[in-house]
Amino acid sequence: MPVDVIERLRSEVSNLAGLKVSDRPLEAVEPYVLEGLDVFVGAEELLPVRGAAGTVSGLASVFPERVVALDGVGELRAALDRYPFQAAAKYVLGRRGVPVREDVRAPLRRLSDNEKRELDEWLESS
């Protein structure tokens, strides 16, 4: 959504409190960081973004301590993005001891056995 549309909405409605911006690179996000509007960044590898209220992070559901500490979040996200993200996130959560089912809804797909082995190797080495 163009920034000018956001500005127009802010002037016409009273309940626009914030938005999530998942664009990349940082230069594409910065125009949306507007005074008085809570902007949440979706691309974890960009964090921290000056003026943003925070993040809406899928990665934080898997590695909350690392996202809070901003500890290698770009590398973590890139590692999981090599696979179908939701399936990889659920698999890693299970490996971290969180009771979660591995299934995902169509059109998403589960991980192959080979992808699970690759993730296991990555987890053991990181």
Q: Is residue 123 part of a domain?
A: yes
Structurally, the chain folds into a number of domains equal to 2
Distance CA 80, CA 62 (A): 10
pLDDT value, residue 51: 95
Q: What is the DSSP string of 52-82?
A: --EE--SGGGT-HHHHHTT-SHHHHHHHHHT
Are 50 and 97 within one domain?
Answer: no
Q: Do the domain assignments include residue 107?
A: yes
CA pair distance 87, 41, nearest whole angstrom: 22
Same-domain status, 77 and 114: yes
The answer to whether residue 64 sits within a structural domain is no
Does residue 75 share a domain with residue 42?
no
Q: What pLDDT sits at residue 33?
A: 96
Residue 6 near residue 39, CB atoms below 8 Å: no
Identify the domain boundary among 30, 56, 82.
Answer: 56
**In which domain, by residue range, is 49 found?**
1-56
C-alpha distances (whole Å) from 46 to each of 16, 66, 73 are 24, 14, 9
Give the residues of the chain that fall short of pLDDT 50: none
pLDDT at residue 55 in the model: 93
Residue in 62, 114, 126 with CA at minimum distance from that of residue 83 = 114
Same domain as 51, residue 1: yes
Q: How far apart are CA 32 and CA 24, in angstroms?
A: 12
- Tell me, yes or no, whether 66 lies in a domain: no
pLDDT of residue 126: 82
Q: Is residue 8 part of a domain?
A: yes
Are residues 50 and 2 both part of a single domain? yes
Co-location of 43 and 13 in the same domain? yes
* Helix, strand, or coil (residue 6): helix
Tell me: do 75 and 48 sit in the same domain. Answer: no
